[in-house]
């Protein structure tokens, strides 16, 4: 089997997820070098996964002669720059979401990728979740008919530290962005308008940091459908990820995912297990699928399923959602671009 | 609407169920007279349901000039005699299960019914439960294909008093008899052999009374299918009534029935309600359906869906099950008749 | 049992539902007189349900000496006037929703009811649905904690005739009004702001009549919670009625309701039955519960669970929803009153 | 991480499953040599999984100096002999089920293992399935109370070739043996008596080969519980693997396993996906768990969760089941030993 030789920049939470996935579950991949400014951390990760080459400087990964493609897992504000550097080095790119908080920066990076003729895929892993893939197939097969109403429920088990909000761009940019991408993916249509009703109900510190933790976001799509996303930073029962698409011919929905399917009938009621607790468990399979598809596509020069433009659009919707929240009115996407 | 004028003999537990059903939910019925040896009890029931005529002597119901049909809810050992008397009075009969504990008595009663040309229906109400009706339809439509394996789970929330066993004929005759009828009904085939593995795990008093409280009963059917019934006198989570039929083309199953369908997700798990607690709640609709069908059939001279022979067969299977238990071996139905 | 003697005005669709329920399932009720301008129709209904007295003129019901309480099932534009007339006649009132399309008219009617010292209950039957009652109980017991997000899905199997929109006040007033009441009921809080994203996707004729058929309505509550209702006039799979309440301690949800619970496993997939088709089946039990509670409360002089003010608030939210749709902006309830 | 160096004998269906699992999902394992009489086959497998050393002669694996433990995946009639040879070579053993068709042979092999002081684990992988593990935990935690009734449903999607029956020992020995082990595992008690009702309904060729394809097997346990297993060689809807344990304090059950959890609501019903098709998909995780536990236990000299005696007992029950079928009577386990 032809293997793709990969470098990874960033060995924080998502970096570790990708490295573990690539090493353990993607036979088409070989991780040849990794980098992180925190040399201590990168060394530990390298040892844990049997990767021989590691650096403190990300450039060393890009310049490594064996590296054919680079996976960007560094902080968001470095993404656009790294994309440009990797593209200019003539190597392929997998970049975590969001690409950047600025549309202009993203557009600049995409332009460099285009010029360099390399491939760029953005990390919307949920598109490769078996449940959501099935929903997408039902829409594409015509079984749902014309989409009328899209509903996404997306709730985290616990909020990140309040200070994270400043860095991440806030809830819409770091959490809901997955739902914005999913909304476009499932309906197969662009979002044209956003209205946000958001508030702080979980933790006042989040509010003090200028962010929200609970939201209902209404979407209008170019194809006439309407949609709604509901978010919370804290569901005491764990990670809650559901999709429903209602159309002229039927409705398809995907429920939460559970570690096993037992039921226990006792004198006080019927009981079953909580959903899988967080994204590393729930989306394990999607991370592996995503990387397999990326490697296959690079190896065989095939088109990628998530483009730079997909990264751009989801950030634009997040910006519109934030603007709608701040200005307390529906916001057209055309106001953002 | 033409109404059927009915008399009811016996105002114990099942008698009250039928009277309530007839008065409140069967527009085709008019209860004109009821009887119970316990005059105090029958008077209370009469008042509660607005029935003007009540007697201590069952003969008064049979002889009542307005009564066109009689519902027998008295103790089992009176059934055969009452059937004969009602038939000779030229009136139609609805008789609770079991018809009698002796096949010979039942055959004698059926013969009198035949001679008198009246109608007789036996109270296997579960045939009219919406869930089980759906399973029967799936079998009859051919969607299940040739039946291979039938599974019935039937568990009560709590055992009757141990002394009840002697009167009732024991678990196979008072409880499993419903499952024996259901087995014949769903498969559309006669039982040819029975093997019983039964024991006392719920209450030693039941064992002392010569009865069992937990059983697995294996059945062989004339059409080649095999089946199994599992019974318990005590499920702490309530009434448990399920059916599964597996065949060459598919499998159809009916789960328990619940008072509502909520789910509650808390930090310690997912919770929902217990099944409907006992037969009066679970089979409410089936009792009404059964009596509507009986009244309609008598009024319009139509065939009845549960015959005297159905009553006979289920008692025969119960006798075979008991014999199998006592002799610790598979027993042919042909040994019983 | 003490019975309440009732008159019913209006024998259209909902009138028939209430009469059937009162006659067949509410032992506390006796329907003594009914009226409908269409004498032919009222006569048929009277015969079908064994009601001896019927009129073409609604006043004859109000003035009927035996009538203690009147159920108003006539067209919406007559409700306020009839309430006033019945109140002045010193009789109790059950009025179908919406009470009126004008807040002023409703307030006037409520004032007359107050002066007359009679009881008034508005027909939000869904509050008495077993599934939704359970959700309410979980909220009230504190198990959900502070409410954060309320979600209601409410879809009809087929739209009413397009011309109905003009008479009914449109989708928000005739269909969503139930959901507005449910939103207030489940959260135990008033709605303070509404934003409507609505469109015409089911039938262009509905749009020509100035109405919508598909909507997502975002709500803000006085207690800080937020909520969303999604509506469609046409779900090809039947009636779709679901509620979910998410709070600081957990989430409670009620799924659709089904005629039975079978599953059929075939070579091409697992199949089960569609939900109960429409409100007459789905909410059968809630109609009976509602009328029992009304009769009990009148007979025993108890407070009623749905007040005139409940009727007023739901109409105000419907007006705000319509205004939000027309002006394409969030609308405060304070703008409506 | 300390790795266990393993050899594998036999590269047929189950051999490939174990090799793939060890190579891809068990970081504690290193497969250093494999053997199969079919040199062509073993070479292919070696290449596919990057294993450098392969042989036609199984002895070469046993004698390979690096091999610390051997996984036996060869035909059943070689198991006992290979166990003895590996034990005498002082290496640890993982042996596929059934250990042998003869109790005497198994007892002899166990004795040699004991003398050699090596470890032996038998491949009852289903004990490590997440659903069934959960059921086991509920029993062990006391939540089920005293076990009363155990129910196992186990149906294959399609029968093996009829000629396979002769080699495999027939349905009870190659298929039901998993259920016999599960019955002992879940109840924590030995089987004392078996009654088999079995027949040929799937394929007459199976009957001609002296085997059955459909069975209901009733079990009696030493702790007083009773149980039932239902088997079919052909479920058109795919692999069907369910467990239910009913006790004095409650009931725990595990349903089938599905590839994803979508539901599709159309005008003709509600539809969802079939269960995972066969053991390689359904039990994927259990195979990995089983091998991780085996490697960990050998590396750290810990006790193994499935012993040689577990292998012996399940074969004894299979022999009793066959005897019961042939002699048409309940058979005591004490008759077999």
Residue D324 has pLDDT above 70, yes or no: yes
Contact between residue C100 and residue C122 where contact means Cβ atoms under 8 Å apart: no
Measured between CB atoms, does B270 come within 8 Å of chain A?
yes
Which residue stretches of chain B are H helix? 13-25, 39-48, 58-63, 76-88, 103-116, 130-140, 164-168, 171-174, 176-187, 204-208, 279-282, 284-300, 308-327
Phi, psi of D72 (to 5 degrees): -95, 115
Measured between CB atoms, does B263 come within 8 Å of chain C?
yes
CA atoms of D128 and A90, how far apart (whole Å): 47
At C304, the pLDDT band (50, 70, 90 cuts) reads: very high
**Chains near D, with 3+ CB pairs < 8 A?**
A, B, C
pLDDT 10s digits, A322-336: 999 999 999 999 999
Residue B251 has pLDDT above 80, yes or no: yes
Mean pLDDT to the nearest integer, C246-255: 98
Longest CA pairwise span in chain C (Å): 68
Mean pLDDT to the nearest integer, C249-273: 96
Dig out the tokens for B86 from the structure.
């009602």
Residues of chain C contacting residue D273, judged by C-beta atoms under 8 Å apart: 269-270
C162-165 contacts at long range (C-beta below 8 A, 24 or more positions apart): C162/C203, C162/C205, C162/C206, C162/C208, C162/C209, C162/C211, C163/C209, C165/C206, C165/C209, C165/C210, C165/C211
**Distance of alpha carbon C146 from its chain centroid, rounded?**
26
Percent of chain A with pLDDT over 90: 92
Residue B36 has pLDDT above 90, yes or no: yes
**Cis peptide upstream of residue B283 (ω within 30 degrees of 0):** no
Residue C165 has pLDDT above 80, yes or no: no
ipTM: 0.95
Residue with tokens 């008991």: B322
Burial of A303 per CB tally in 10 Å (0-12, 13-18, 19+): exposed
Contact between residue C311 and residue C180 where contact means Cβ atoms under 8 Å apart: no
Q: Which helix (H) or strand (E) holds A308?
A: helix A308-327
Contact B218 D214 (CB under 8 A): no
Residue A145 has pLDDT above 80, yes or no: yes
Nearest to A237 among B237, B266, B272 (CB): B266
Mean pLDDT to the nearest integer, C262-287: 93
Give the residue among B105, B42, B56 at the shortest CA–CA distance from B76.
B105
pLDDT 10s digits, D126-179: 999 999 999 999 999 999 999 999 999 999 999 998 778 777 889 999 999 999
Q: Per DSSP, what are the bridge partners of residue C215?
A: C198, C231
pLDDT 10s digits, C79-88: 999 999 999 9
> Dihedral (C-alpha) A70, A75, A79, A81: value to the nearest 10 degrees?
-100
Strand, helix or coil at C175? helix
End-to-end CA distance of chain D: 44
Measured between CB atoms, does B1 come within 8 Å of chain A?
no
Please give the pLDDT value at position A2: 85
Measured between CB atoms, does D103 come within 8 Å of chain B?
no
Mean pLDDT to the nearest integer, D18-23: 94
Q: Tell me the C-alpha to C-alpha distance, in Å, between residue D168 and each of A232, D207, D231.
A: 55, 15, 16
Higher pLDDT, A7 or A164: A7
Residue with tokens 């013969």: B111
pLDDT 10s digits, B39-95: 999 999 999 999 999 999 999 999 999 999 999 999 999 999 999 999 999 999 999
Mutate which: D260, D270, D275, D276, vs C, most C CBs within 10 A: D270
| Tally of CB atoms within 10 A around D8 | 31
Residue-by-residue DSSP string for B7-66 = EEE--SHHHHHHHHHHHHH-TTEEEEEEE-S-HHHHHHHHHHTT--EEESSHHHHHH-TT
At B168, the pLDDT band (50, 70, 90 cuts) reads: confident
CA atoms of D208 and A285, how far apart (whole Å): 45
Please give the pLDDT value at position C280: 84
Residues of chain A contacting residue B236, judged by C-beta atoms under 8 Å apart: 266-267
CA A25, A27, A28, A31 dihedral sign is positive
Q: Tell me the C-alpha to C-alpha distance, in Å, between residue D207 and each of B250, C45, D211, D214.
A: 22, 65, 5, 11
Longest CA pairwise span in chain A (Å): 68
| Tally of CB atoms within 10 A around B71 | 28
Mean pLDDT to the nearest integer, C237-242: 97
Burial of B73 per CB tally in 10 Å (0-12, 13-18, 19+): buried
Measured between CB atoms, does C27 come within 8 Å of chain B?
yes
Mean pLDDT to the nearest integer, D81-104: 97
Residue B1 has pLDDT above 90, yes or no: no
CA atoms of A21 and D224, how far apart (whole Å): 48
At A1, the pLDDT band (50, 70, 90 cuts) reads: low
Contact C252 B261 (CB under 8 A): no
Contact A252 D264 (CB under 8 A): yes
pLDDT 10s digits, D281-290: 899 999 999 9
Contact between residue A227 and residue A149 where contact means Cβ atoms under 8 Å apart: yes
Contact between residue A97 and residue A71 where contact means Cβ atoms under 8 Å apart: no
| Tally of CB atoms within 10 A around B142 | 11
Percent of chain D with pLDDT over 70: 100
pLDDT 10s digits, A197-242: 999 999 999 999 999 999 999 999 999 999 999 999 999 999 999 9
CA atoms of B152 and B160, how far apart (whole Å): 21
Q: Name residues whose C-beta falls within 8 Å of residue C193's C-beta, 6 or more positions apart in sequence.
A: C219, C220, C320, C330, C331, C332, C333
Contact D232 B330 (CB under 8 A): no
Higher pLDDT, D257 or B2: D257
Contact between residue C216 and residue C228 where contact means Cβ atoms under 8 Å apart: yes
Contact A249 D266 (CB under 8 A): yes
Q: Name residues whose C-beta falls within 8 Å of residue D137's C-beta, 6 or more positions apart in sequence.
A: none
DSSP A175: I
pLDDT 10s digits, C183-213: 999 999 999 999 999 999 999 999 999 999 9
Residue A185 has pLDDT above 70, yes or no: yes
Contact A259 D130 (CB under 8 A): yes
Residues of chain C contacting residue A198, judged by C-beta atoms under 8 Å apart: 226
| Tally of CB atoms within 10 A around D92 | 25
Phi-psi region of D297 (alpha: psi -120 to 50; beta: other; left: phi over 0): alpha
Contact between residue A103 and residue A312 where contact means Cβ atoms under 8 Å apart: yes
DSSP D181: H
Dig out the tokens for A32 from the structure.
């040849």
CA atoms of D6 and D24, how far apart (whole Å): 14
Residues of chain A contacting residue C153, judged by C-beta atoms under 8 Å apart: 151
Q: Which helix (H) or strand (E) holds C116?
A: helix C103-116
Measured between CB atoms, does C227 come within 8 Å of chain A?
yes
Contact between residue A95 and residue A83 where contact means Cβ atoms under 8 Å apart: yes
Give the residue among C191, C172, C200 at the shortest CA–CA distance from C331.
C191
Name the minimum distance, in Å, from the CA of D221 to any CA of chain B: 11
Angle at B288 between CA C275 and CA B75, to 5 degrees: 140
Name the minimum distance, in Å, from the CA of C5 to any CA of chain D: 43
pLDDT 10s digits, B110-125: 999 999 999 999 999 9
Residue with tokens 């073993």: D42
Please give the pLDDT value at position B163: 77
Mean pLDDT to the nearest integer, B224-252: 98
Give the residue among A149, A129, A154, A175 at the shortest CA–CA distance from A244.
A149
pLDDT 10s digits, C108-135: 999 999 999 999 999 999 999 999 999 9
CB pairs under 8 A between B and D: 100
pLDDT 10s digits, C212-226: 999 999 999 999 999
Mean pLDDT to the nearest integer, D91-118: 97
Residue C1 has pLDDT above 90, yes or no: no
Contact between residue D282 and residue D275 where contact means Cβ atoms under 8 Å apart: yes
Convert B30-58 to b/e letters by CB count within 10 Å (16 or more is b).
bbbbbbbbeeebbeebbeebebebbbeeb
Q: Which helix (H) or strand (E) holds A69?
A: strand A69-72
Q: Per DSSP, what are the bridge partners of residue B199?
A: B214
Residue A162 has pLDDT above 90, yes or no: no
Phi-psi region of A321 (alpha: psi -120 to 50; beta: other; left: phi over 0): alpha
Name the minimum distance, in Å, from the CA of B237 to any CA of chain D: 7
Average pLDDT, chain D: 96
Name the minimum distance, in Å, from the CA of C14 to any CA of chain B: 21
Average pLDDT, chain A: 96
């Amino acid at each position: 089997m032809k293997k793709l030789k990969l470098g990874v920049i960033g060995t924080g939470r998502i970096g570790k997820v990708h490295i573990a996935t690539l090493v353990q579950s993607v036979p088409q991949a070989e991780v040849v070098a990794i980098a992180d400014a925190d040399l201590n951390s990168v060394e530990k990760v390298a040892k844990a996964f049997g990767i021989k080459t590691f650096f403190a400087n990300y450039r060393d990964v890009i310049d490594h002669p064996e590296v054919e493609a680079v996976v960007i897992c560094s902080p968001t504000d470095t993404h656009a720059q790294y994309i440009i550097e990797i593209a200019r080095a003539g190597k392929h790119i997998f970049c975590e979401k969001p690409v950047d908080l600025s549309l202009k920066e993203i557009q600049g990076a995409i332009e460099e990728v285009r010029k360099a003729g390399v491939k760029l895929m953005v990390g919307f892993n949920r598109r490769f979740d078996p449940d959501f893939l099935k929903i997408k197939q039902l829409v594409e097969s015509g079984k749902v008919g014309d989409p009328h109403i899209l509903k996404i429920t997306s709730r985290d088990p616990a909020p990140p530290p309040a200070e994270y909000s400043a860095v991440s761009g806030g809830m819409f940019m770091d959490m809901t962005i997955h739902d914005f991408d999913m909304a476009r993916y499932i309906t197969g249509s662009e979002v044209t308008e956003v209205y946000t009703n958001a508030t702080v109900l979980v933790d006042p510190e989040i509010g003090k940091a200028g962010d929200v933790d609970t939201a209902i976001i209404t979407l209008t799509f170019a194809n006439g459908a309407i949609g709604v996303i509901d978010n919370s930073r804290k569901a005491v029962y764990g990670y809650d990820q559901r999709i429903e698409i209602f159309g002229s011919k039927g409705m398809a929905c995907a429920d939460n995912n559970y570690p096993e399917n037992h039921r226990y009938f006792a004198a006080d009621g019927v009981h079953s297990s909580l959903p899988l607790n967080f994204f590393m468990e729930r989306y394990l399979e999607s991370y592996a699928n995503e990387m397999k598809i990326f490697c296959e596509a690079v190896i065989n020069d095939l088109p990628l399923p998530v483009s730079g433009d997909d990264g751009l659009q989801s950030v634009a919707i997040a910006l519109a959602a934030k603007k709608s929240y701040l200005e307390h009115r529906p916001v057209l996407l055309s106001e953002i671009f």
